[in-house]
A and B are shown apart, each in its own frame.
Chain A
Amino acid sequence: MFIQLVVSGLLLGCIYSLISMGLSLIWGVMGIVNFAHGAFVMLAMYAAYYGDQLLRIDPLLFTPVAILLLFFLGVLVYQIIIQYVVDGPYVSRLLATFGLGFFLINMAQFLWSPNFRTIKESMVHGVWKIGSVMIELPKLASSLGSILVAALVFLFIRKTRTGQAIQAISADKMGAALMGINLKRIAAFSFGLGIACAGAAGSLLATFYYIFPDVASLFGLIALVAVALGGFGSVEGAFLGALILGLVETLGGYYVDPNWKYALMFLIYLGIVLIRPQGLLGRGKV
């Protein structure tokens, strides 16, 4: 049973990683903690749901569409809101994204009601049995999809010119600007890319997770905690944080109590940052 739980914890953690990666990317480039991140995951879940209902496209195959949709939505949000608050005081940056999340969640309630929805049967279904370990194939497919998207984003940041510009800004904003990098353009692009990560995760999650407006709060908080746990500014840290949360969720849900699993996740996070305030892989002072 233990191995079973570890496997499903890691699978879940992979999807959380992808969400957290977007959050981490946005933070690195513009110093904004996106408290609305979960809302974008939720929007992508609804997009995938309607893709399935109306167009009969499986959520797994819908993922590239979700990535594109959410990328443009992200750029739009940057143009309308983020660019105006990015240089403001910490509290107004924080509350602007909170307000955005609030807006999107309630928009979803208004448009699609608070009811739970599920996608009946995804193209990948069934269980794969290795010895005593059962792997649910929809979750496996979503996790592999998440890893694929994360790897592509990672390669993009490392290998392309735009990616290098993103790295340069994260390392030294002033220096990057002096080298002729267009800060606004790259920031808009990065925000879009970060939201696209959330979008990919949302579409992949839609294959097996309940779809409802408030799912945004949950995934948003998990991503925030994963990034804080791993240390802001460290993509590897965000991955590690997300995997730990996935493990705590499944192990805690089984050995402690399913009702308490999220409380347990957040308590463990609080416990860890007390010892390492800068997060597991965070550098320097808090």
Chain B
Amino acid sequence: MMELVRHRRFPTFILLFGLFIALVFPWVVRDRFAQNTAIFVLMYGLMAQAWNIMGGYTGLISVGQVAYFGIGAYTSAFLYTHFGINPWIALLIGGLITALFGVIAGYPVSKLRGRYFSIATIAMAEVMRISFSNWEYVGAARGIQLPIEKESLLTFQFHSSRLPYYYIILFLFIVVNLVVYVLERSRTGFYFRAIRDNEEAAAGLGINRSFYKLLSIGISAFFTALAGSFLTQFSLYVEPDYVFASSISITVAMVAVLGGIGSLGGPILGALVLIPLSEYTRAWLGKQGQGLDLMLYGALIIVFCILEPKGLMGLWKRISTKKRTSP
């Protein structure tokens, strides 16, 4: 049994090696498109890992993560343009406000299960998109445009190079992974999994399921919102159809599922495979006409769901256990 448990995790040296690669990557690869792609890999990796906390560990399968993403993006854009609050503080406040939103909205919704929960999350995300599209105070359908500032770490704006953005998102990505790493080994993480595997039994053992469900939603919403705030600084504008696009929710869930849910390595692996695939097909086919690249992306999702329903981590497990057990 011990053996089995050990093989299920990604070996730590692979993670450390990956970290080293990530640190030197933009110095080796100078191509702007590749660097942008790497930024999106990390951004979606961050969100997918946040999704994993809810979906993979606690079993709350959300297909409306874009609600948190968009609220985070809007909050920091709004705080910055209206009150001149420093983007870094705005990013943090955005995360906290979104976490609060997640907990309050999540309180009733987390009582739903399975498909009912998933449908409620889409409905929630759609309500947010419609609300922000019609809310004059935050620019309605026009959204918010951020003024261009002098580039510095303090203003969170960089124009001459993508490198600072890369390292900032890498930092946020590492933080979320550390949180999951600690969570995986903690009592809280154990409670999350207990709720996922059998909610009644967990409650019977005295685990406060409402509290732990909301805790996982809160953490997930916080980190998803950080990705949203990052995008605000990266693209310098927010718009309802852009930051509340349902395709973001699907991509986030897909990255996690493709990699394999309920494990630390899953979302990392998923982001490394799916995001470059989608970015490069976009670059390749995007000009050929509207929709062709996204069509291929949809087909890709279907193929992955058919071929590897347990995710790439499942494939990894099969390969690694086969190697060890074969004489």
Contact = CB atoms under 8 A, between A and B. Distances in A.
Given A90-B114, A110-B291, A274 B108 contact: yes
Most buried by B among A85, A101, A286: A286
Q: Would you call the interface of chain B mostly helix, strand, loop, or mixed? A: helix
A35 to B, nearest CB: 8
A81 to B, nearest CB: 6
A109 B301 CA distance: 18
B301 A259 contact: no
B291 A92 contact: no
A124 interface: no
Contacts of B118: 33, 94
B130 A102 contact: no
Contacts of B119: 33, 224-225, 228
Interface string A97-115: 0111111111111100110
Contacts of B253: 91, 94-95
A99 B302 contact: yes
Contacts of A259: 130, 133-134
Interface stretch (B70-78, B174-182, B292-300): B292-300
A260 to B, nearest CB: 6
B112 interface: yes
Contact of A270 (B123, B250, B310): B123
Contacts of B42: none
B114 A263 contact: no
Contacts of A96: 301-302, 305-306
A84 interface: yes
Given A91-B55, A106-B292, A228-B116, A270 B305 contact: no
B81 interface: no
B131 interface: yes
A273 B123 CA distance: 12
A91 B270 CA distance: 14
Nearest to B246: A217
B18 interface: no
A284 interface: no
A232 B290 CA distance: 36
A89 B111 CA distance: 21
Interface residues of B, number: 46
A144 interface: no
A93 B298 CA distance: 14
B124 interface: yes
B127 A91 contact: no
B204 interface: no
A95 B299 CA distance: 11
Contacts of A163: none
B299 A103 contact: yes
B112 A277 contact: yes
Contacts of A113: 290
A98 B250 contact: yes
B116 A107 contact: no
A95 B254 contact: yes
A96 to B, nearest CB: 4
Contacts of B109: 270, 274
Contacts of A263: 126-127, 130-131, 134
Given A94-B63, A228-B119, 10 more contacts: A84-B306, A90-B115, A92-B257, A96-B305, A99-B254, A102-B297, A103-B298, A110-B290, A232-B116, A286-B113
7 contacts: A85-B305, A95-B253, A95-B257, A103-B298, A228-B120, A266-B126, A286-B112
Interface of A: 33, 35, 81, 84-85, 88-96, 98-110, 113-114, 213, 217, 221, 224-225, 228, 232, 257, 259-260, 262-263, 266-267, 269-270, 273-274, 277-279, 286
Interface of B: 55, 61, 63, 108-109, 111-116, 118-120, 122-124, 126-127, 130-131, 133-134, 246-247, 250, 253-254, 257, 261, 289-292, 294-295, 297-302, 305-306, 309-310
Nearest first, the 10 closest Cβ-Cβ pairs linking A and B are A99-B301, A103-B298, A109-B291, A102-B298, A88-B309, A110-B291, A96-B305, A106-B291, A92-B309, A106-B294
